[in-house]
Homo-oligomer: A and B are copies of this chain.
Amino acid sequence: MKLTADAKGTFAIAPTPFHDDGRIDERSIDRLTDFYEEVGCDGVTVLGILGEAPKLDAAEAEQVALRFVKRARKLQVIVGVSAPGFATIRSLAKASMDAGAAGVMIAPPPSLRTDDQIVTYYRQAAEAIGSDVPFVLQDYPLTFSVVMTPAVIRRIISENASCVMLKHEDWPGLEKITTLRGFERDGSMRHIAILTGNGGLFLDFEVERGADGANTGYAFPEMLVDVVKLSAAGRRDEAHDLFDAHLPYLRYEQQQGPLGLAVRKYVLKRRGVLGSDAQRKPALILSAQAKQEVDYLLSRIARVDRRAAALKS
């Protein structure tokens, strides 16, 4: 089923599992997919930054995307297809959609500066993948150094009917959600799904501002699922209580670059989901002290959230 502007809930961002020697670990892909379904995710985004996508060659990227797509039963699979050029974007988008992916995600190349450059890029990208392929607009200035105003996002959405979701991870970004939802209310922009990333650091307020859910790689996606649901049910204090219990560790995990990835793979391995926490080069090895810090933080979550207690050691 293709992704639509009515998507909501929690779309996990998946790491790419490797064996210790760097080969792709397909069994762990299967386990990871099952895990996301079991904890209540609505979808999964693969081959994003967290997925070490640039470290795969074209054949490997297709292999990973297709494995997730084939394993997923109810999960919608979104495939990150960002690449330096449209030919590569098109090739991976086509292979993924043919296999049954729900849509693709496209990040802006870091060279974009002006409003027009950004809008033109997405017009050409949408044309490259074809107007029948739903795509997610990724807005992550901290990582891509491309700054999109709400008005630019509106232009992209207006021009491209196939743009159905915003992965919102501007920082600070709460007002941006409010502004975009205001555009919908004043009739100047059609509705799209807004799911939020940035490690989940502001998820508690993002859903209150109008976001439809989470789209991030937090290693306890069940918390994301629950916070989104509690908030949607108007149980504000409970949503914050749960979120706050996880925040000290979530903040630790959300450290930029390879460290955040290393922490997540370490925890997903401890949870029995990944067979190995190996990253491809350039990789960061977690220090013994960092692991102890993570373990300490997890033990503190476990006092409140029993699901975090059930960790393999």
- Tell me, yes or no, whether A56 is within 8 Å of chain B by CB: yes
Contacts of A255 in B (CB 8 A): 171-172
Check A247–B251 contact: CB distance below 8 A. yes
Check B58–A57 contact: CB distance below 8 A. yes
Contacts of A281 in B (CB 8 A): 86, 124, 128
Closest to A22 in B: B87
In the complex, what's the smallest C-beta–C-beta distance from A50 to chain B, in angstroms? 14
Chain A interface main SS type:
helix
- Tell me, yes or no, whether A282 is within 8 Å of chain B by CB: yes
- Tell me, yes or no, whether A110 is within 8 Å of chain B by CB: yes
Segment from A68-76, A114-122, A129-137, A227-235 that makes contact with B: A114-122
Contact with B along A276-291 (1 / 0, CB 8 A): 0000111000010110
Residues of A in contact (CB 8 Å), total 62
**Partner pick for A247 among B117, B247, B290, CB 8 A cutoff:** B247
Check A287–B152 contact: CB distance below 8 A. no
Check A147–B113 contact: CB distance below 8 A. yes
Contacts of A120 in B (CB 8 A): 282
Q: Kindly report how many copies of this chain are found in the complex they form together.
A: 4
A174→B260 CA distance, assembly (Å): 13
A84→B120 CA distance, assembly (Å): 23
Closest to A55 in B: B85
Chosen A-B contacts, 12 in total, with CB atoms closer than 8 Å, are: A54-B85, A55-B86, A56-B85, A56-B87, A57-B88, A113-B147, A114-B148, A115-B149, A121-B282, A172-B260, A178-B289, A247-B247
Known: A54-B83, A175-B287, A244-B300. 20 other contacts (CB 8 A): A52-B85, A55-B86, A56-B85, A57-B88, A57-B90, A58-B59, A59-B91, A60-B87, A110-B110, A114-B114, A114-B149, A115-B149, A117-B147, A172-B257, A178-B287, A202-B251, A202-B252, A243-B248, A247-B251, A251-B251
- Interface residue ranges, A against B (CB under 8 Å): 52, 54-60, 83-88, 90-91, 110, 113-117, 120-121, 124, 128, 147-149, 151-152, 171-172, 174-175, 178, 201-202, 204-205, 208-209, 240, 243-244, 247-248, 251-252, 255-257, 259-260, 280-282, 287, 289-290, 293, 300
